[in-house]
Structure 1
């Protein structure tokens, strides 16, 4: 190309980052005379996918400006690589700087709370969602169901589940798994039956939770027969 504008450079960087070729992406990134925020975000996301948290973190800290995608990408980077405490720290820093999170940010942060067992913070974030007009969609909804179940608040988990107008497979799986883990085997099996009536197709995660419930109830043979039917 005789001339390359910022869009062309960013497209090339993104192409390499998308396939995990971060060495080539970094060479192009370093050669750019002017970098836009999309290019920075693309690089951070590419490093996150490869588990190179240090490089993602270094770029994030050197960004001249950040948008909501930048913050969410860094939070997701930490979460993908099981650094949930760091993910929550970035979220808190984001809020202190007056940046309003979006639905993707909230779902990612709720998931971090689930892995840390941070029930109080999870409740605080749930309240923030309700007070700031977020849509309780299947992504935030399934994250809340899973978070409350993992933090031992099964009643709150089920309350969120039953209040959701739309439920996807992840919502059903989170509810079934929560019931099974907390020893409510019959209720987990009943939830699975309800899921079937709603024409939601189960996956491997569903079967693991249902088989666990059947084992507790001494119904493993029956469960295997049902799944083979």
Structure 2
């Protein structure tokens, strides 16, 4: 409704013009009160304008309850009012109310339209209710609205969010006018399911991309641990003249952190500064994490100190980086500073500081912090925290104590915890405890090649060659195969991935010649390879 008709209706009730200047609930109540006194609230148009104002997402207060009270005074609400309420509640903490209004709408003899269904679908998506989503999908078909592009986009997004890519793909393929929204929903869905190959295939086929699409594809690579591909796609984005935003740069910088690619991370930081991007808390934390992971502690601290505000995650990123590179005392210093600021450590914070104690050999301090998790902070220790304690004791050579700790855990120890114990047995050449831990691991994860390899190597190190051979035979018998290892290097701003046995690199012959030359020279210099763990690798 617009133009002369809207102007006429506003002139009939000039108080509606005041809605444009309304900024708080008390002002709204004054306007509403006047409309009640003048009996204009019974006018459906006037009521609809009030309700539409209440559900406006740009308005600071949540006025949905007030909108419902206005609605309850109406004798014959129209479709516009129902749609407004369905829209408002679909984005609220109580999206199931949208479904309630839809049922009520039907009972009033009204017919839903292409505005009704996208918000109903949004409510189902927020509720993570596959069943209700399918029911709404059936209603869309029943009312003949599945060919509407906005309705189609919402249904594609819903199924993609649920991870049902088959259903999403079926609707997407039937769309006559697919747009950037539907393409982006499909790419996001594939990425969420871990199928980045299909996501990239669609991305490359897209007739038109926007920054959201670039961001989702780059973050999809990062979330699926294809950090090299995330950086590579960012470089393509730059070459096409697209200006990245803060969200894109968080994914890129996080990828550089996981790659340990300091040079690329520094270039990404330069890009942020050159383009005057806002180094907000999330982006700032990503920079701290990147520099800390890459061992550039001085820069990590500089960025951290320059953050306008700090939350638990930014403190944790710095502490974790310090722990990773053996700065245990410094990590403890920042941990204590964080606590003194009044911030409560999170699960991940305790994992980081326990890891610092483990790497620094601070056994007593680590055990003290572990005890404080429950006593001082009222947090139930998680499996990750128990794993850190096993690693702490194991690195210190306290293997019997570590095994006893695992056996007396109040929760069932998982594979990583037994794996930490097995790893410590390898370092300290304790085949007896290793055998017990290894047997549990093989029961928990019979297809995991790493534990067979580790246990076999421990047997070999302690000269139990026959038992080591038995482990090798067990792997063959169960059909367990060791996945090929790979390494990543950065050359001239590009990430190169090398997989064991891969001969597909365009310069493989040159690489092999160079490798042979390197081996020749280091052997002449007196290098002798460590073959202690080479029996099964």
> What interval of TM-score do these two structures reach, taking the shorter chain for normalisation?
over 0.9
In structure 2, the residue matched to 1:217 is: 362
The Cα offsets for residues 104-147 of structure 1, whole Å up to 9 and x where unpaired, read as 00000001111111111111111111121111111111111111
For residues 165 and 103 of structure 1, what CA distance do their matches in structure 2 show? 16
Asked if residue 101 in structure 1 is aligned to residue 269 in structure 2, the reply is: no
SS in 2 for 1:206: helix
For residues 64 and 145 of structure 1, what CA distance do their matches in structure 2 show? 37
Q: Which moved more, 1:63-72 or 1:214-223?
A: 214-223
Shift of 1:205: 1.5
Asked if residue 143 in structure 1 is aligned to residue 143 in structure 2, the reply is: no
In structure 1, the residue matched to 2:134 is: none
In structure 2, the residue matched to 1:206 is: 349
The Cα offsets for residues 52-75 of structure 1, whole Å up to 9 and x where unpaired, read as 112111110110000001111111
For residues 223 and 2 of structure 1, what CA distance do their matches in structure 2 show? 62
Kindly report which structure 2 residues correspond to 1:129-168, keeping only aligned pairs within 5 A, or say none: 129-168=272-311
Distance change >3 Å, CA 60–CA 183, structure 1 → 2: same
Asked if residue 44 in structure 1 is aligned to residue 187 in structure 2, the reply is: yes
For residues 8 and 222 of structure 1, what CA distance do their matches in structure 2 show? 57
SS in 1 for 2:207: coil
* Bigger Rg, which one: 2
The higher relative CO (CA closer than 8 Å, separation ≥ 6) is in: 1
Asked if residue 16 in structure 1 is aligned to residue 147 in structure 2, the reply is: no
Distance change >3 Å, CA 86–CA 225, structure 1 → 2: closer
Higher helix share: 1
In structure 2, the residue matched to 1:175 is: 318
Count, aligned residues: 229
4+ runs deviating over 3 angstroms? none
Gap runs ≥5 in structure 1: none
In structure 2, the residue matched to 1:60 is: 203
Contact 1:180 1:188 in 2 (8 A): yes
In structure 2, the residue matched to 1:80 is: 223
Shift of 1:177: 0.9
Shift of 1:214: 3.3
For residues 108 and 35 of structure 1, what CA distance do their matches in structure 2 show? 27
For residues 197 and 326 of structure 2, what CA distance do their matches in structure 1 show? 40
Contact 1:18 1:46 in 2 (8 A): yes
User: What's the Cα RMSD here?
Assistant: 1.3
Gap runs ≥5 in structure 2: 1-142, 377-537
In structure 2, the residue matched to 1:127 is: 270
TM-score, normalised on structure 1?
0.95
For residues 170 and 11 of structure 1, what CA distance do their matches in structure 2 show? 33
